[in-house]
Chain A
Amino acid sequence: MRVVVPTQLRGYTAGRAEVDAEGATLAEVLADLDRQFPGFRFRVIDEQDRVRRHIILFVGSERQDDLGAAIRPGADLQIVGALSGGS
């Protein structure tokens, strides 16, 4: 699937704003992202598998906090740095 990477995480993707990742669930996609870009997942998901407070995950156009959620074929994952995190 296509993953849209926010500016805050592009240090992990060599500056790329979009990358590809594989997986049937959000958890699998994040695991694949971490394999490709070591350290990526922990900056987005905490050690208790919660989406971090100032990160929003959109699968397609819907917010998704459930890492076990199945990925609809053809959907994109967009990772967003929430407005609440700016300071």
Chain B
Amino acid sequence: MPVQLYIATRKGFWIATSDDRSAWSLQGPTFLGQQCHHIVLDPRDRRTLLCASRQWHLGPTVFRSSDGGATWKEAATPPQFVKGEPRGRAVDHVFWLTPGHASEPGTWYAGTSPKGLFRSDDGGVTWAPVAGFNDHPEQHRWVGSDKDETPDGGKLHSILVDPRDPAHLYLSMSGGGTFESLDRGADWRPLNLGVAADFFPPTEDGSEREYGHDPHCVVQHPTAPDRLWQQNHCGIYRIDRPDPRWVRIGKAMPGEVGDIGFPIVLHPRDPDTAWVFPMDGSGDWPRTSPGGRPAVFATRDGGASWQRREHGLPRDQAWWTVKRQAMCADGRDPIGLYFGTTSGELWATTDEADSFRCLFRHLPHIFSVTSGEPA
């Protein structure tokens, strides 16, 4: 069974395929000229692919392939807010796709810009707003204003479905913070205690802010789902539920690198192992590799310590950014890690970050890289 990488870029998407993770072939482009934000293989049938896409001039949509990417069909009803709703929201782009629980084979979730949550129960053909979030009486406070958004619009991302319970969901927003639902999205509550938001002044009474934080990427361990990890605008965090408080494990990162970045990736079998790709969040916030020297940092002890991994990566003058969706792991042994850069390079390691090699160059700006093993 091959490993595939689904590479979504600012100008279309590509699929990389390998049987042995040594020799790779590249198919594409598909949807050349369209912004493709996220492509995900359905792990439940390992055949269905969904792609969140927007042609620059046209409205946002979701494309669906039921044959592993050979042919694509547009959703009959793409994610969209309720017509005539009082806030006048309209989806600008679909940013995030998450397959639903294993017991709900047709269910998918989508996160949009502006920040909205949508669900499909028919495999991505039709989508409906999750009113419990989009119309929650506090939602307008949670999402903030346009000054609480990323430059091309706020993002709802990192939609997580507890593998033990399809009604237990998490989502995160840039900005806004992380939120939890125990009833399949009917109601939500903030989950941000312990997370810094140093772009805000302290509250007058010294209490912690409940929301308004800027999680860049939040992940849940598949075999230890009480453990969540977060790469935030203000550091790297871990939480072990039911503890309500995040712990800043990024404090153990080297001071000259810091703990700012976009992606965080987990080892699918080892709940203590994670990888991050730091970026420069100092001064003017260039959001490039610190010092122009890209490196992955690995922890094998739950974040108590971090090791720099850079063998094979450029030694200097490499001013990349790896975006929040653009780093992933496969399920092989040893684990393969893959990341795509804003400069259009696709890098891989198949020895758990002991060494890296560039698989492809000259692609457009890479938004996301996900992996799968198609049926």
Contact = CB atoms under 8 A, between A and B. Distances in A.
A43 interface: yes
Given A54-B57, A87-B56, A38 B76 contact: yes
Contact of A54 (B56, B80, B89): B56
Contacts of B57: 6, 8, 52, 54-55, 81-82, 85
A47 B58 contact: no
A46 interface: yes
A82 B56 CA distance: 10
Interface in A34-64: 38-39, 42-50, 52, 54-55
Given A47-B82, A48-B83, A48-B84, A39 B56 contact: no
B109 to A, nearest CB: 19
Contacts of B91: 46-47
B82 A52 contact: no
Nearest to A50: B90
A39 B83 CA distance: 16
A6 to B, nearest CB: 7
Contacts of A39: 61, 74, 76
Nearest to B87: A48
B59 A43 contact: yes
B81 interface: yes
Interface string B89-108: 11100000000000000000
Nearest to B78: A42
Contacts of A44: 58-59
Contacts of B78: 42
Contacts of A4: none
Interface in A1-57: 6, 8-9, 38-39, 42-50, 52, 54-55
Q: How large is the interface on B (under 10, 10 to 19, 20 to 34, 35 or more residues)?
A: 10 to 19
B151 interface: no
Contacts of B58: 8-9, 43-44, 52, 55
B90 A47 contact: yes
A86 interface: yes
A85 B76 contact: no
A8 B55 contact: yes
Interface in B251-275: none
Contacts of B82: 47
A42 B76 CA distance: 10
Nearest to A87: B56
A47 B34 CA distance: 21
Contact of B56 (A9, A50, A86): A86
B201 to A, nearest CB: 34
A9 to B, nearest CB: 7
Contact of B55 (A43, A45, A48): A43
Nearest to B82: A47
B88 interface: yes
Given A46-B80, A55-B57, 5 more contacts: A38-B76, A42-B59, A43-B58, A47-B80, A82-B57
20 contacts: A39-B61, A42-B59, A42-B61, A42-B80, A43-B58, A44-B58, A44-B59, A46-B59, A46-B80, A46-B91, A47-B82, A47-B83, A48-B81, A48-B85, A48-B88, A52-B58, A54-B56, A55-B57, A81-B57, A86-B56
What are the nearest 9 A-B pairs in CB distance? A46-B90, A43-B58, A85-B57, A81-B57, A47-B80, A54-B57, A43-B59, A85-B56, A8-B57
